[in-house]
Structure 1
Amino acid sequence: MTIKKWFKSGSPWIWLNAGAIAISMIMVVGLLSLILVRGFSHFWPAPIVETTLTQPDGRQVQLLGELSRSQTLPAQVMREAGVDIPSDIDLVTRHLIKQGNRDVWGRDFVWYPETGMDEWRYPKEAMRLERREWGDFYGYPVRLKEEGRTVAEGEKLWPELQQRVDRANELFDEIRGIERGDIGAVNHRMERVRLEERRLDMDRRAGRIDRASMEEATVELEARRAELADEYAVLQQRLDQLYQDVRRDTLVGRVMDGREVEIPVGQIIRAVQPNDMSVVSKVGLYVAQFWDFLSGYPREANTEGGILPAIFGTVTMVFVMSIIVSPFGVLAAIYLREYARQGPLLRVIRISVYNLAGVPSIVFGVFGLGFFVYFVGGAVDQQFFPAALPSPTFGTPGLLWAALTLALLTLPVVIVATEEGLARIPSTIRHGSLALGATKAETLWKVVVPLATPAMMTGLILAIARAAGEVAPLMLVGVVKLAPTLPIDGHFPFIHLERKIMHLGFHIYDVGFQSPNVEAAQPLVYATAMTLVILIVMLNLTAISIRNRLREKYRSESD
């Protein structure tokens, strides 16, 4: 009888709901903690270990690198994998060593069994070189050469190497500025000359221009092309000189088997000796590597380098999507709530809107590809960019179509949230406004809509959260593995909506599941996921702060 009264009181359901919320919070906090810990720990400089592995046949192998992780497995599993393990051992611990030097060994992550390993050593002179190609290099510095002549050895080598690495990075920054800035501007103007020539040819065939005007315009375009060619030649000459200066210095390093390898200093981004660094130096290196990750460009099939294009593409796409979805969603909700005749047709429309929110996102991607890209984009190219055809301008996936597809995807969220906000406005406020002589339109736009603004911001917050994490539809309508340029530059119209972009969500998918080097990509997956989570939180907090300010503003005005 007591149990029945307890169930009738509702207490079990309260405890059940509390338990479900607690479990959900634990799962969310655990997931975020895993992402944050793995993401932030990736940038901490790990020590370089050195040891000797004695194999069962008596051969000794020198090992040098960073410990990635360890596993304990049954010895039988190791034997079936082809590893020679003594028969009297039941469990074997193996270590994944990042030995780097992909250009020397062919692979930079190798599993080694602990059986037969000597004691681990941490030599202070062991170095890690972060390179532009072939991944990290692990070894010992031997000598530094300039144009084949030895310039530093012994204690003088490391300070001299740091200076020359800084010099090489400055040269590469200048090279990058010329290639992406100056030469990019010249190529942009050359393309405009080519398109003008194409338009002249089309006008000539259509009879819209006479021969004299055609010849005059052609001479002017040829002069412009010659001027641009001279400008390009000067820039190319400067680039050749810079590349020659970059190739001047060479570092000779000794790998773990004793061989000496020459590494061009121009390929070195950063040279460190983690075992000889203080805690303060490691913190400084941690901050520098984390900043390079946020502000750099990807390298080595996205398994190294930074994610700046992905961050920029994600933020730009979300802002463009917000600008598109907000007015359409708000106006649709206002019409459905305030102006449309209530009846069966309106109920069907509302049900359709609710069902639209449950359509798989990939369906929106297919629709965006077929309608926005091929139909609308193709029509825009035919009407406004005929000279560029058959190369499409808007008739190909790009930023605009990705934003429109996401706007369509999140439109039901904004409509429903706005309608609920309009419904929560007390009728007494409407009646009071009408009683004071205001028209229905004035009441709506000057009284009701401002009070419902917080609900509209809530819909926008939900739309941003969903849009920033979507991947499937974006793969079809504008997001790519690697975008050569950002969708913004100094050329009119400055924001290029037709360009393809990178996206943090797709970057996580590509690095995690399409990378040729899984072990090198694994920490980047956590770091990129951490960045995406932080970015979504920042966008949401910005929208929430705006919503709270609006709520307080209109609450004080209504009081």
Structure 2
Amino acid sequence: MKQTALKRWFNSGGPGVWLSAGAVSIAVIMTIGLLAVIAVRGLGHFWPSDVIAAQYDVPGQESHVLVGELVQSEQVPRARLKGAGLPVPDQGPEFMTRDLFKIGNRDISPGDFSWVIGEWLKDQRKPAQLMTLERREWGNFYGYLVNVKEDGNVIAQGEAAWPQLQARIERVQGISDQLDRLEKGEIGAINHGIERLRLRARKLELDGKLDAAAQADMASERAEFDARYKAVESQLAALHADFNRDSLTARDGNGKEIEIGIGKVVHAYQPNAMGTMTKLGFYFQKLWEFLSDDPREANTEGGIFPAIFGTVMMTLIMAVIVTPFGVLAAVYLREYARQGVMTRLIRIAVNNLAGVPAIVYGVFGLGFFVYVLGGSLDRLFFPEALPAPTFGTPGLLWASLTLALLAVPVVIVATEEGLARIPLTLREGSLALGATKAETLWKIVLPMASPAMMTGLILAVARAAGEVAPLMLVGVVKMAPSLPLDGNYPYLHLDQKIMHLGFHIYDVGFQSPNVEAARPLVYATALLLVLVIALLNLSAVTIRNRLRDKYKAFED
């Protein structure tokens, strides 16, 4: 009886169901665990950590004060430390503690981070007066505030210096915002206008129409641009003078003093004196800066807004390109093409395209889109800009087209499956009522197949948004802080190079000169890339579900 029941259980497919459920559960747990690790390590980077001051006594060396943030702590075998040349005594516990401190002060010490032996740290404390200066360059500075200066004259020192420092940092930040608006807005518009004027003159020269009247008109326009530039230049000079007016004197843990321009300081805070709510407010401020600011310090500091913008813009353009081409190809294969050997070969080729390595698409995009198609467009429409390329160089358009080519097989397959599920009776009923085949396709079949089209688009976005290898060849670069969308005609600059979250992760993680500083940003950017892809997919899923509910009655 037991064998018979066990045999019936196997024949019913129960083991397969349990194995499938177990495999799915493991996959879900692993995915959630991976996202949790990325979130903890990435988001924890923005929390204002306490700064430790301790006496570091290395046997046989002069003692000094170590000041910094504790980043990591681990147990290391004593023999390993001794083999590394450290003056570790032979007797003692088998394992010793090794701590990684972020000591900053790169303009004083050789590196941002330092491994130290925990047993050699004495008299560890967290003075409330210890401050962290987050700077625009040279990383963080850890130490004590001595005084604040204006035009080289001390205006506050001791306890009175801290509120003065905060007020002047806020003032400098306002000046920095004005400088950004002038340099990226006014100066950018003037440079754009001068360049368009130069290209227009070159075009007239090539056409043999650069007469005296045209030269006079352009000279007048150039004079207007020069007048605008001089006015903005005087404003910039005054703002730069104000920006560099104030400075501070700081002292490190060993008593060495250094003067730092307040214009170089982004934030100054005393983490040991901050309460939990104050730290929480500062944390969300730093998180917002990460999402909204431009990168700095070789992408290891600042924000990643240009990479977010470039990723979303490129994915949206890719979706606009891939959807009509994929749908038209699927409609032709399913509704119009004669079902024979050639059609089967085309379907096999489409399915095989979905498995081609992404880097192959990148090489094709560079060779065909950039050099052949882009070079031809330059010769036909932009001869006045040559030999400088306009579209004959990697840019946003070619990156989007390459991704569209990579994703189009997915859209074709999903759309074909959706068209195949439309009942034949609906087509026949529409034709019987006098509608043409095109009207039936446009008003009956395509609307009902739209959820499948959205499914294909979701899969395309999920694959294309995270690709990195082909984009390195066709338009994505390490640093492109100017956005491809601005107020200068033609407003959307498809020829401009962009930043991308996937390439940003690769660059920060593998090309950064400061690996330890870049590590938490790799996790934070990876989490953000997952969230961006999820948001794009959720938007498409929402649209698909609404379309499915709308046409569900017809399917029933």
Instruction: Name the counterpart of 1:200.
Output: 204
Unmatched tracts of structure 1, length 5 or more:
none
Query: What is the alpha-carbon distance in structure 1 between the residues aligned to residue 204 and residue 333 of structure 2?
Result: 51
Instruction: Name the counterpart of 2:433.
Output: 436
Alignment-mate amino acid for residue 71 of structure 1 = E
Query: What is the alpha-carbon distance in structure 1 between the residues aligned to residue 334 and residue 38 of structure 2?
Result: 42
Give the TM-score of the pair, scaled to structure 1: 0.97
Query: What is the alpha-carbon distance in structure 2 between the residues aligned to residue 242 and residue 77 of structure 1?
Result: 55
Instruction: Name the counterpart of 1:25.
Output: 28
SS in 1 for 2:465: helix
Query: What is the alpha-carbon distance in structure 2 between the residues aligned to residue 223 and residue 434 of structure 1?
Result: 66
The Cα offsets for residues 258-312 of structure 1, whole Å up to 9 and x where unpaired, read as 1011110011111111111111111110110000000000000000000000000
Query: What is the alpha-carbon distance in structure 1 between the residues aligned to residue 488 and residue 279 of structure 2?
Result: 41
Alignment-mate amino acid for residue 96 of structure 2 = V
Alignment-mate amino acid for residue 46 of structure 1 = S
The 4+ residue runs of structure 1 with deviation greater than 3 A are 1-9, 556-559
Alignment partner for residue 97 of structure 1, among 76, 97, 101?
Answer: 101
Q: CA deviation at 1:119?
A: 3.8
Once the two structures are superposed, the pairs formed by residues 488-527 of structure 1 within 5 Å of their partners are 488-527=485-524
Alignment partner for residue 19 of structure 2, among 16, 19, 26?
Answer: 16
Q: Answer whether contact 2:418 2:449 (CA < 8 A) is retained.
A: yes
Instruction: Name the counterpart of 1:382.
Output: 379
Instruction: Name the counterpart of 2:136.
Output: 132
- The answer as to 2:537 corresponding to 1:547 is no
RMSD (Å), alpha carbons: 1.3
SS in 1 for 2:355: coil
Instruction: Name the counterpart of 2:239.
Output: 242
Q: Answer whether contact 2:113 2:516 (CA < 8 A) is retained.
A: yes
- The answer as to 2:452 corresponding to 1:449 is no
SS in 2 for 1:96: strand
Alignment partner for residue 324 of structure 1, among 321, 326, 330?
Answer: 321
SS in 1 for 2:46: coil
Once the two structures are superposed, the pairs formed by residues 166-177 of structure 1 within 5 Å of their partners are 166-177=170-181
Instruction: Name the counterpart of 1:123.
Output: 127
Instruction: Name the counterpart of 2:274.
Output: 277
Alignment-mate amino acid for residue 512 of structure 1 = G
SS in 2 for 1:452: helix
Instruction: Name the counterpart of 1:61.
Output: 64
Query: What is the alpha-carbon distance in structure 1 between the residues aligned to residue 387 and residue 482 of structure 2?
Result: 22
Cα distance 1:441–1:303, how it changes in 2: closer, same or farther (>3 A)? same
Alignment partner for residue 310 of structure 1, among 304, 307, 310?
Answer: 307
The Cα offsets for residues 44-103 of structure 1, whole Å up to 9 and x where unpaired, read as 111111111111115212011111111211112112222221111321111110011111
Alignment partner for residue 283 of structure 2, among 286, 295, 314?
Answer: 286
Alignment partner for residue 482 of structure 2, among 476, 482, 485?
Answer: 485
- The answer as to 2:295 corresponding to 1:298 is yes
Instruction: Name the counterpart of 2:390.
Output: 393
Q: CA deviation at 1:435?
A: 2.7
Q: CA deviation at 1:6?
A: 4.4
Query: What is the alpha-carbon distance in structure 2 between the residues aligned to residue 196 and residue 551 of structure 1?
Result: 52
Q: CA deviation at 1:423?
A: 0.8
Instruction: Name the counterpart of 1:182.
Output: 186
Instruction: Name the counterpart of 1:79.
Output: 82
The Cα offsets for residues 463-516 of structure 1, whole Å up to 9 and x where unpaired, read as 111111000000000000001410011112111101000000000000000000
Alignment partner for residue 225 of structure 2, among 210, 215, 228?
Answer: 228
Q: CA deviation at 1:554?
A: 1.4
Alignment-mate amino acid for residue 415 of structure 2 = T
Instruction: Name the counterpart of 2:419.
Output: 422
- The answer as to 2:334 corresponding to 1:334 is no
Q: CA deviation at 1:120?
A: 2.1
Q: CA deviation at 1:455?
A: 0.5
**Count of aligned pairs:** 552
Query: What is the alpha-carbon distance in structure 2 between the residues aligned to residue 526 and residue 548 of structure 1?
Result: 32
Q: Answer whether contact 2:422 2:555 (CA < 8 A) is retained.
A: no
Alignment-mate amino acid for residue 105 of structure 1 = S
Q: CA deviation at 1:219?
A: 2.3
The Cα offsets for residues 191-211 of structure 1, whole Å up to 9 and x where unpaired, read as 11211221232223xxxx3xx
SS in 2 for 1:409: helix
Unmatched tracts of structure 2, length 5 or more:
none
